A = this chain, B = another copy of it.
Amino acid sequence: MVSNLFMLYLGSMSYYIAVDVGGTQIRVASYQAEKLEPLRLIRRRTHSRENTPEETLKQAIKDAWPESKPVKAIGIASPGPIDLAAGTIIKAPNIPQWSHFPAVDFLEREFKVPVYLDNDANLAALGEWRYGAGKGHHDIVYITVSTGIGGGVIINDRLLHGVRGLAAELGHVTVDPNGPQCSCGQYGHLEAFSSGTAIARRAHERIQQGVNTELSKVAHPTARDVAEAAEKGDRLAMELLEDAGKHLGRAFADFLHIFNPSILILGGGVTLSGRYILEPIRNALSRYTMSPEYLEDLVITLAQLGDEPGLVGARVMAESATIG
């Protein structure tokens, strides 16, 4: 008992820094162990005239640092592929300066505490597992559908990383080999059919073909415009979301056969488009799953951590890497 209380006391004296790197914004938060709300939350533009992105990052961490408190670790969520073993960001979309950027070394030298790095979709899954929709589940498939499509997979309470940390790229599986080109250069990937970018591109194509739609009033309709038009009953918008949802649901059926999770968590702006995309997802999922056992106790739900799942996940990573 004494030692448990002592551990608890030590634990409550621990502080953590979480970083979420985005193409337009770097967000940094400091947390006290066991407390959900951040002590400080700092947002900085990733690109400024005065500073390089790494200077901005360093300064934002300094600003978020809890004064004269013992910070145990820093966790970073980065978009795009990272090299887990080397602790480097291989490529950060919209930050061309950060090609093979050694983020872990850079920050450990500066702040003299352990630094942990992972991809933002993986960390969003970890955040949902610990504090969000996935609480109590041990086998989780998390998919985020926004500009691109990312994934994070928890198996037996541990993130799936693979040998180099490049696993769980769930947007980059072929759903139709005759499909359009993907951002990665391959053809017919899920991301090329159902991401926000893909929905916007298809809207544009159909308008060019002269389809009668609300959306032709907007110069460059986004996936959000499509969702709003669908809510107003626009036929093209409804059809575009149905098509995107159908491809998502069919891919999810494959993910059930591959991972047999107890929960599917949908994150990202596109999944907030409501029933016009969620119903086609559910329909396709039950139609294309090969056996009812996969669906029996399956929970399908939206993510709960809102705008900052990567930040929460980065905190969980830093905290769990330094416990015990």
Contact with B along A155-181 (1 / 0, CB 8 A): 110101111111111101111111000
Contact with B along A139-155 (1 / 0, CB 8 A): 10000000000000001
Whether a CB of chain B sits under 8 angstroms from the CB of A5 is: no
Contacts of A101 in B (CB 8 A): none
> In the complex, what distance in Å separates the CA atom of A28 from the CA atom of B173?
40
User: For this complex, into which size category does the number of interface residues on chain A fall?
Assistant: 35 or more
> Do the beta carbons of A139 and B163 come within 8 Å of each other?
yes
> In the complex, what distance in Å separates the CA atom of A186 from the CA atom of B286?
11
Whether a CB of chain B sits under 8 angstroms from the CB of A210 is: no
> In the complex, what distance in Å separates the CA atom of A232 from the CA atom of B186?
35
Minimum CB–CB distance from A247 to chain B (whole Å) comes to 9
Whether a CB of chain B sits under 8 angstroms from the CB of A81 is: yes
Contacts of A83 in B (CB 8 A): 293
> Do the beta carbons of B167 and A138 come within 8 Å of each other?
no
Whether a CB of chain B sits under 8 angstroms from the CB of A196 is: no
> Do the beta carbons of A186 and B288 come within 8 Å of each other?
yes
**A interface, CB within 8 angstroms of B:** 81, 83, 90, 138-139, 155-156, 158, 160-170, 172-178, 182, 184-186, 250-251, 253-254, 257-262, 288, 290-291, 293-294, 297
In order of increasing CB-CB distance, the 8 nearest A-B pairs are A162-B260, A167-B260, A184-B290, A169-B257, A166-B260, A163-B262, A173-B254, A172-B257
